[in-house]
């Protein structure tokens, strides 16, 4: 059994859906579970719906939602011939779930509403892709993943209940493979024990695919993307970026941790734990080998470069010259957690803590205000955080020339420089 994961870009147009369908048809060797995320930029559009609704603008929310609706209805109509009416009726049930809520007034947390609204993107995209498979006579079925993946109620960043989910996979999913060759389901979403929808964090569909790979003991997971392979740097920032044919789990988890947009950072653990190989391949050029990620240690790697712009350096100093260690550090970490913003780099000194964050203005302000009660807070914006793994003197020189470095950390493998 294999797991395939397709992201929003691979199904954003009817043409793309057809090529994705061709990939499925070309490769009927094993049973397959398909994890799909929302079409194109649907998740962003649904976020706007949630924001309007929560700010009390129900009318705007409904009209924004209408656009999402129309786009999916049009796509479905184009794709289905035989089964169109029944498929559309079912799709309208997904709309009703959201509209029913939009007609109310918000009384709960934003994060709760966010998840109830945004989860619709994956339900719609998978429903359309399923209908396409039916039209193409593929032996497929559709599963609402919220009946399988159980989470806690930490909305927008829900944690998996592995034991419950495992049991559901055993009793519900495995059974389906007696009848069907392909099981199609949603990435990114789950549900609580009270049947409230949850999401696993942005770009979480990779993680969903890894959960299924783990629980089904899959022979491999393939993540289909719009790049030919995992690159050593973002090709939009570095013209000389090159593809890397093979990488170890540990290399990839570090790359993702430092902010490389390879795959969702939580994806690796469930795969590594069962030694399941991960292929990253291009849905535009499926004949290319892509990248294989496995337990085999990477051979000599090129420098792997991650550059994050728009960084803020915050300094928290004690007001009375007491040490910033132990308890004060814990208090700061609580403040970061409440603001849902993790530092990208931390450095301790006797009476202060330096932290580098992505510049999310509201969150930075929240942190500054809360920490300001106990600490003197200063900050500098518009910095760049450069991380280079497997660095050498030449590449460091090339990438930091003429820059003023404000913070530098290095181990034998990884160098991080924060500069103006």
Considering only the stretches 33-41, 148-156, 275-283, 342-350, report the one whose residues sit in contact with Mg ion under the rule CB under 5 A. Answer: 33-41
Q: How far apart are CA 297 and CA 411, in angstroms?
A: 19
* CB 43, min distance to ligand ASP, A: 4
Should residue 208 be labelled a site residue for Mg ion when binding is judged by CB under 5 A?
no
Bridge partners of 268?
Answer: none
Q: Helices then strands (H, E): number in the chain?
A: 14, 16
- Choose the stretch contacting Mg ion; rule: CB under 5 A; options: 34-42, 107-115, 149-157, 221-229: 34-42
What are 356's two structure tokens? 């580098």
Q: Which is nearer to ligand ASP, 46 or 229 (CB)?
A: 46
343 makes contact, choosing from Mg ion, ligand ASP, none, with CB < 5 to 8 Å by partner type, with none
CB 343 within 8 A of CB 356: yes
Per the CB < 8 A criterion, the answer to whether 319 and 375 are in contact is yes
Q: 3-state class of 399 per DSSP?
A: helix
Distance CA 363, CA 164 (A): 34
Would you state the structure tokens that stand for residue 22, as one six-digit string? 């061709």
Gyration radius of the chain's alpha carbons: 23
**Cα dihedral value 322, 327, 331, 333, nearest 10:** 110
The tokens describing 335, both together, are: 């403040």
**Choosing among Mg ion, ligand ASP, none, which partner's interface includes residue 265 (Cβ < 5 to 8 Å by kind)?**
none
Measured from the CB atom, is 8 or 290 closer to ligand ASP? 8
Residue 43 interacts, among ligand ASP, Mg ion, none and using kind-specific CB cut-offs from 5 to 8 Å, with ligand ASP
- Closest to ligand ASP by CB, 126 or 246: 126
Q: Quote the least distance from Cβ 10 to ligand ASP, whole Å.
A: 11
Query: Does residue 8 touch Mg ion according to CB under 5 A?
Result: yes
Site size toward Mg ion, by CB under 5 A: 3
**Footprint of ligand ASP on this chain (CB under 6 A)?**
7-8, 37-38, 43, 121, 187-188, 202-205
Minimum distance from residue 36 beta carbon to ligand ASP (Å): 9
Q: Encoding tokens for residue 137? A: 């006579």
Q: Which is nearer to ligand ASP, 7 or 190 (by Cβ)?
A: 7
State the residues that interact with Mg ion by CB under 5 A: 7-8, 37
């Amino acid at each position: 059994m294999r797991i395939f994961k397709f992201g929003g870009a691979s199904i954003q147009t009817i043409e793309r859906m057809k090529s994705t369908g061709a990939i499925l048809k070309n490769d009927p060797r094993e049973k397959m579970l398909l994890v799909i995320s929302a079409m194109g930029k649907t998740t962003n559009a649904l976020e706007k719906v949630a924001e309007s609704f929560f700010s009390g603008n129900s009318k705007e929310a409904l009209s924004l939602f209408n656009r999402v609706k129309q786009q999916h209805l049009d796509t479905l109509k184009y794709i289905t011939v035989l089964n169109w009416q029944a498929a559309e009726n079912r799709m309208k049930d997904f709309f009703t779930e959201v509209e029913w809520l939009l007609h109310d007034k918000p009384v709960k947390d934003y994060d709760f509403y966010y998840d109830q609204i945004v989860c619709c993107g994956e339900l719609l995209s998978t429903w359309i892709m399923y209908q396409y498979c039916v039209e193409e006579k593929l032996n497929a079925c559709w599963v609402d993943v919220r009946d399988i993946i159980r989470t806690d109620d930490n909305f927008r960043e829900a944690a998996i209940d592995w034991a419950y989910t495992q049991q559901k996979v055993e009793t519900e999913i495995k059974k389906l493979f007696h009848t069907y060759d392909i099981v199609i389901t949603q990435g990114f979403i789950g549900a609580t024990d009270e049947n409230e929808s949850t999401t696993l964090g942005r770009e979480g569909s990779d993680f969903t695919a890894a959960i299924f790979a783990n629980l089904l003991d899959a022979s491999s997971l393939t993540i289909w993307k719009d790049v030919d392979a995992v690159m050593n740097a973002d090709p939009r920032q570095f013209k000389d970026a090159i593809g890397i044919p093979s990488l170890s789990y540990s290399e990839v988890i570090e790359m993702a941790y430092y902010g490389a947009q390879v795959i969702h950072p939580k994806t690796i653990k469930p795969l590594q734990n069962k030694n399941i190989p991960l292929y990253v391949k291009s849905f535009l050029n499926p004949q290319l080998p892509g990248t294989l990620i496995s337990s085999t240690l990477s051979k000599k790697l090129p420098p792997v470069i991650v550059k994050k712009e728009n960084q803020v350096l915050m300094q928290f100093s004690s007001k009375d010259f007491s040490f910033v260690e132990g308890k004060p550090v814990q208090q700061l970490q609580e403040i970061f957690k409440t603001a849902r913003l993790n530092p990208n780099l931390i450095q301790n000194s006797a009476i202060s803590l330096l932290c580098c964050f992505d510049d999310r203005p509201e969150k930075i302000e929240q942190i500054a205000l809360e920490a300001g009660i106990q600490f003197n807070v200063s900050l500098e914006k518009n910095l760049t955080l450069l991380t280079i793994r497997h660095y050498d003197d030449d590449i460091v020189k090339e990438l930091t020339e003429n820059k003023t470095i404000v913070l530098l950390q290095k181990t034998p493998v990884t160098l991080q420089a924060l500069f103006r």
